[in-house]
């Protein structure tokens, strides 16, 4: 139950960070969503591997 809550929090933090980057003109708005998805995917895989090794 903790994992979905943490992932939701991370998703919101990444969204705020992406919005800040767009506001400063560092990235295009259309690039933010794929970047957030990629970071969440990579993070989930790393978390899963770390969890499996811990058992």
One-letter-per-residue 3-state SS of the chain: CHHHHHHHHHHHHHHHHHHHHHHCCCCCHHHHHHHHHHHHHHHHHHHHHHHHHHC
What's the average model confidence in pLDDT over 25-52?
90
Give the residue numbers spanning the domain of 40.
Answer: 2-54
How many independent structural domains does the chain possess? 1
**pTM (2 decimals)?**
0.74
Calpha distance 18→1 (Å, rounded): 26
pLDDT at position 5 is 87
Segment 36-47 shows an average pLDDT of: 89
Q: What is the pLDDT of residues 16-38, one digit of tens each?
A: 999 999 999 999 999 999 998 89
Could you count the other beta carbons within 10 Å of the beta carbon of residue 18?
19
Given a contact cutoff of 8 angstroms between Cβ atoms, the answer to whether 32 and 22 are in contact is: yes
């Amino acid at each position: 139950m903790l994992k979905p809550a943490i992932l939701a929090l991370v998703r919101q933090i990444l969204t705020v960070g992406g919005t800040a980057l767009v506001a400063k003109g560092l990235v295009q708005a259309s690039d933010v969503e794929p970047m957030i998805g990629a970071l969440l995917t990579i993070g989930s895989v790393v978390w899963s591997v770390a969890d499996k090794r811990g058992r």
